[in-house]
Chains A and B, each alone.
Chain A
Amino acid sequence: MEMKPSIQMEPKIDYDNFTSIRNQLKKEQRSLFIKRFLSNRSVVIGGSILLVLIIFAIVGPMVSKYTPLEIDPVNRLQGPSAEHWFGTDNFGRDLFSRVAHGAQVSLGVGLSVAFLTAVIGLFVGLYAAYYSILDHIFMRICDALMAFPDILLAVAIMAVLGPRPVNVIIAVTIVKIPVVARIVRSSALVVKEQTYVEAMKTLGASSWRIIWFHTVPNALSPMIVQVTYIFAIAIILEASLSFLGVGIPAPNPSWGNILYDGKTVIYSAWWMTVFPGLFIILAVLGLNIFGDGLRDLLDPKSHKAINKQ
C-alpha cells in the first residue's frame, strides 16, 4: 500500500527554506490582491474621489489665506474671485476656508462613525449570534432603534446630549449601529452552522477562539462594504443635523451649517449653497462607488480571471 505511514524515510525539514517559501507565497498573494484591487474600476474611481477629498481637507486649510472664523463685514456676500476663491458668506468669512475646514469636520465625523459602528456593531452582532439571551436583548434594542426615522432619532439624541461635535458622532453612531449589528449577526449565524466551526469545537477551541478567529474572518466582508455606505450616510446625517441647527454648532464650519447659512441668501449668493452641496455630493458619490467596487472585490464568486504573468 503506497499510503502506509512511514517515519523512517522522512527527510529532515529544512526550516529556513520552509519560511522562505512561505514568505514568497505571501508576497505573491499580496501582489495578486493589489492587481485585483487596481483592476476594479469602481474601486479606483471611488477611491480617487475620496483621496482627492481627503487631500483637500488636509491641504485646503493650509493654502487658504483666511481662517474660517475671520469676519470681514465690508466684504459680505462677495462672489468667487481671485481673492476669495469660493466667495464670502453673510459675515464676510472666506468660503473656501470654511468649506475646507468643513471637509475636515464632515469627513472626520463620517470616518469616526464608520469606525465606531464597525467595532460596536461587530461585537453586538457576533455575541447576538452566539448567545441567544444576548440575541433577544440586543435585537429588541435594535428593533426599537430602527423603528425611528434616522434623522428624527439623531435629532432626539442631540437634543438630549447638547450641540457638540463629539455628540454628533455619538448620535449618528447610535442610529447606525443596528444596521451593522444585523449584518454581522446574519453572516455570523451562517458561519456558525458550518462544519468547520463544529470541527474546531471538537478540536478543543474555546468559544472565544471560535468567535474571533474563525467567525470574524468569514463574516467580515459584508460588514466592510456596509460600513463604507454608513460613512456616506453619516456625512449626509451630519449635514442634515447641522442644517437643522442641532449638529456642529456655529460658528464652527461644517458642510451642513454652511448650507444652512446660505439658505436665506440662496437667490443672491448661489455660491454659498453650491460649493458645500457639491462637496457633499462628491463625498457621498465617491463613497458609494467605492463601496460598490469593494462589494465586488470581496465577493470571491465575482473574481474575474487575472493573468498571473
Chain B
Amino acid sequence: MVGEHLLEVKNLKTTFLTEMGSVVAVDGMSLHVDYGETLGLVGESGCGKSVTAESIMRLLDERTTKYEGEILFKGQDLLSLPEKKMVDIRGNEIAMIFQDAMTSLNPVYTIGNQIVETILTHQKVSKKEAYEKAIEMLRLTGIPSPEKRILEYPHEISGGMRQRVMIAMALSCKPSLLIADEPTTALDVTIQAQILDVINELKKELNMGVIMITHDLGVVAEVCTRVAVMYLGQVIEEAPVDNIFTNSLHPYTKGLLKSIPKIEGDRNKKLYTIEGIVPSLHNIPKGCRFAPRCSFADEQCRTQSPVLKETDGGHKVRCWHYEKIGQMEEKIDVTATS
C-alpha cells in the first residue's frame, strides 16, 4: 500500500530490565495497520503479542522497560512523546479492550459513570451530553435498553455484556485504532461470535484500524484482513489472511494449522503437535529461533538468523528454506494423491 499507514511499527525492541538481567520480550518487531483494516496478531502464550500491544500504548512501567525502534502513529513517533501527550492519545486515538471482561470494569462505579468519565476526559461536553453519548455507544454495541443498564454496576451484568460495555467505553471517543487483546477468550462461543460482529461493524462504521490479538485461528479467519504470526518475540510470517490458511510458508505456521482438529477425517488419528516446547526468553536459541523445533532445520538455521523477507503480494516470511520446503511438500502431495 502506498502512502502513510495509520500505525507503523518499525524494528520495535522491548526489553524488560529484571533482577535476573534484561529480557528481550519483543525483538525487531515490524508491522503496520491501515484505516479500516484488521490485523491479526497470533502466536502462542508468551510470544510477545500482548507486550507488543502494551508497547504501542506505552503501558509498561517505563522504569523497568526499555523501548527501541519506532512506533509511528499517524506519522508521529509514540515512543518519543512525553507521557502527558500520551495520556491524550490513550482512549482518544488508540483504545484497547482486554481479555478479562469480568475484571476490566471498576466494581465501585456504575457502567454509566465509567463511560461518562472516559468521554469527559477527552471531550469538552456537558455531563448530560456525555450521558446521552454513553447510552448511544451502549446501543451501538447491541446492549438492550441501555438507559437502564447504564445505572447498573458491573457485577449486575453478564460477562458478554461487560465486554460490550468495555467496547462501548473504548470506542466512546471514536479512536482510529483499536487494540483488542484476546477480547473473546473468556467468553463462550455464541457470545464470541456476537462480540466479533460488533467489533467488525463498528470498525466499518468508524473506519478504524484494529489489531486483533488472539491465539484462536478461527477468530483470525473470521475477522482479520491480514495476519502476523509471532514466535518468541519476532514476527515469523505475515500475509493476507487467505494466504496464511492456503499457502503458509513458515514451518511454524504450517505446524499451527496442522494442529487444528478437523471436522472431517479420521477421528482416531492423534492430533498433530509441534515437537518440543517454546524456549525461555532468557535462553534464546542462536540462529533461527524456531530451529530447535523445526524438522527442516540445518546448519545454516542453527547459526544464522533469517530476516523477514517479502515473497510476493505482501507475504513476508522469516525462514531460510521456505522455497525448498514448499517444493518438498508439493512432491509429497503429488505422490500422496497419485
User: Do chains A and B stick together as partners?
Assistant: yes
Does A76 lie at the interface of the complex (its beta carbon under 8 Å from any beta carbon of B)?
no
Q: How many chain A residues have a CB neighbour from B under 8 Å? A: 33
**Cβ contact within 8 Å between B106 and A202:** no
Q: Of B100, B142, B147, which one neighbours A3 at CB under 8 angstroms?
A: B142
CB of A199 to closest CB in B, whole Å: 4
Which 7 A/B pairs are nearest by Cβ-Cβ distance? A204-B91, A3-B142, A203-B91, A202-B96, A204-B90, A217-B108, A195-B104
Does A21 lie at the interface of the complex (its beta carbon under 8 Å from any beta carbon of B)?
yes
A3–B190 alpha-carbon span in the complex (Å): 12
Contact with A along B296-318 (1 / 0, CB 8 A): 00000000000000000000000
Does A48 lie at the interface of the complex (its beta carbon under 8 Å from any beta carbon of B)?
no
Residues from chain A with Cβ under 8 Å of B135 in the complex:
13
A196–B132 alpha-carbon span in the complex (Å): 23
Report A124-162 residues with CB < 8 Å from chain B CB.
Answer: 132
Report B97-143 residues with CB < 8 Å from chain A CB.
Answer: 97-98, 100, 103-109, 117-118, 121-122, 128, 131-132, 135-136, 139-142
A206–B166 alpha-carbon span in the complex (Å): 18
Does B92 lie at the interface of the complex (its beta carbon under 8 Å from any beta carbon of A)?
yes
A66–B90 alpha-carbon span in the complex (Å): 68
Residues from chain A with Cβ under 8 Å of B197 in the complex:
1, 3-4
A3–B88 alpha-carbon span in the complex (Å): 31
Does B23 lie at the interface of the complex (its beta carbon under 8 Å from any beta carbon of A)?
no
12 new A-B contacts, CB < 8 A, other than A1-B194, A5-B140, A196-B107, are A5-B201, A5-B202, A10-B139, A25-B151, A197-B106, A199-B96, A199-B166, A202-B57, A203-B121, A204-B173, A205-B87, A218-B108
**Cβ contact within 8 Å between B98 and A198:** yes
A303–B104 alpha-carbon span in the complex (Å): 24
A213–B194 alpha-carbon span in the complex (Å): 32
Residues from chain B with Cβ under 8 Å of A197 in the complex:
106
**Cβ contact within 8 Å between B202 and A201:** no
CB of A258 to closest CB in B, whole Å: 45
**Cβ contact within 8 Å between A203 and B139:** no
Does B217 lie at the interface of the complex (its beta carbon under 8 Å from any beta carbon of A)?
no
Does A214 lie at the interface of the complex (its beta carbon under 8 Å from any beta carbon of B)?
yes
Contact with B along A174-201 (1 / 0, CB 8 A): 0000000000000000000011111111
Tell me whether chain A's interface is mostly helix, strand or loop, or mixed. Answer: helix
Does A267 lie at the interface of the complex (its beta carbon under 8 Å from any beta carbon of B)?
no
A213–B117 alpha-carbon span in the complex (Å): 10
A3–B104 alpha-carbon span in the complex (Å): 22
**Cβ contact within 8 Å between A204 and B141:** no
**Cβ contact within 8 Å between A203 and B118:** yes
Does B59 lie at the interface of the complex (its beta carbon under 8 Å from any beta carbon of A)?
yes
Q: Of A7, A195, A206, which one neighbours B100 at CB under 8 angstroms?
A: A195
A109–B189 alpha-carbon span in the complex (Å): 60
**Cβ contact within 8 Å between B106 and A200:** yes
Q: Of A3, A195, A204, A217, which one neighbours B118 at CB under 8 angstroms?
A: A204
Q: Of B59, B89, B148, B202, which one neighbours A198 at CB under 8 angstroms?
A: B59
Does B278 lie at the interface of the complex (its beta carbon under 8 Å from any beta carbon of A)?
no
Q: How many chain B residues have a CB neighbour from A under 8 Å? A: 49
Residues from chain A with Cβ under 8 Å of B198 in the complex:
3, 5
Does A22 lie at the interface of the complex (its beta carbon under 8 Å from any beta carbon of B)?
yes
Can you show 17 pairs from A to B with CB atoms below 8 A apart? Answer: A5-B142, A5-B198, A7-B140, A21-B148, A21-B151, A196-B104, A196-B107, A197-B106, A198-B59, A199-B96, A199-B104, A199-B169, A204-B90, A205-B118, A209-B117, A217-B106, A218-B107
Does B25 lie at the interface of the complex (its beta carbon under 8 Å from any beta carbon of A)?
no
**Cβ contact within 8 Å between A195 and B103:** yes
Does B63 lie at the interface of the complex (its beta carbon under 8 Å from any beta carbon of A)?
yes
Report B166-183 residues with CB < 8 Å from chain A CB.
Answer: 166, 169-170, 173, 179
**Cβ contact within 8 Å between B59 and A202:** yes
Residues from chain A with Cβ under 8 Å of B103 in the complex:
194-196
Report B201-218 residues with CB < 8 Å from chain A CB.
Answer: 201-202, 205
A10–B118 alpha-carbon span in the complex (Å): 23
CB of A211 to closest CB in B, whole Å: 13
CB of A90 to closest CB in B, whole Å: 55
CB of A82 to closest CB in B, whole Å: 56
Residues from chain B with Cβ under 8 Å of A14 in the complex:
147
Does B95 lie at the interface of the complex (its beta carbon under 8 Å from any beta carbon of A)?
yes
Residues from chain A with Cβ under 8 Å of B105 in the complex:
196, 199
**Cβ contact within 8 Å between B148 and A15:** no
Residues from chain B with Cβ under 8 Å of A18 in the complex:
131, 147
